Amino acid sequence: MGATNFTYAEASWTQALADWIGAHTRAFAAIGGVTHYDTAILTGWAAPAARDKTKVEVAVPVIERWLLGSLRHRRFYSLAELNAAIGELLRQLNVGRRIRVVPLRSWL
């Protein structure tokens, strides 16, 4: 989530709709957000110099390498066990990062 400087990741069995929606629901919960009333999802800027989108695109391969590198010698016996390990690494990464929350009404 580029605008927040907060990183969230999780493993899933597939990229099917149910897994995709579940991952996003858990990501919103992780930052203290909600997935229902008075919430708007704002995409990256439409202009070529997309500020927030660029931060995310740069972070994805860095985080992938860091997570995979940190976990490469471990064996996991369930998806829940893998996600617990990912969650611990993300907690370490996100410590001290302040999440900037902008009320919906300020965008209107």
CB 30 within 8 A of CB 23: no
Give the DSSP per-residue string, 21-66. HHHHHHHHHHTT--SSTT----PPPSSSS-HHHHHHHHHHHHHHHH
pLDDT above 90: percentage of residues in the chain = 35
Q: What is the pTM of this model?
A: 0.70
Per-residue model confidence as pLDDT tens digits over 34-60 = 657 566 666 655 555 555 567 777 778
Residue 81 token pair: 């066990």
Least confident range of 81-85, 88-92, 102-106? 102-106
Give the residue carrying structure tokens 């990062």: 97
- Residue 37 is predicted with a pLDDT of 59
Q: In this predicted model, which residue has the larger pLDDT, 24 or 104? A: 24
- Tokens linked to 95: 């410590």
Residue 101's pLDDT is 54
What tokens were used for 105? 């009404």
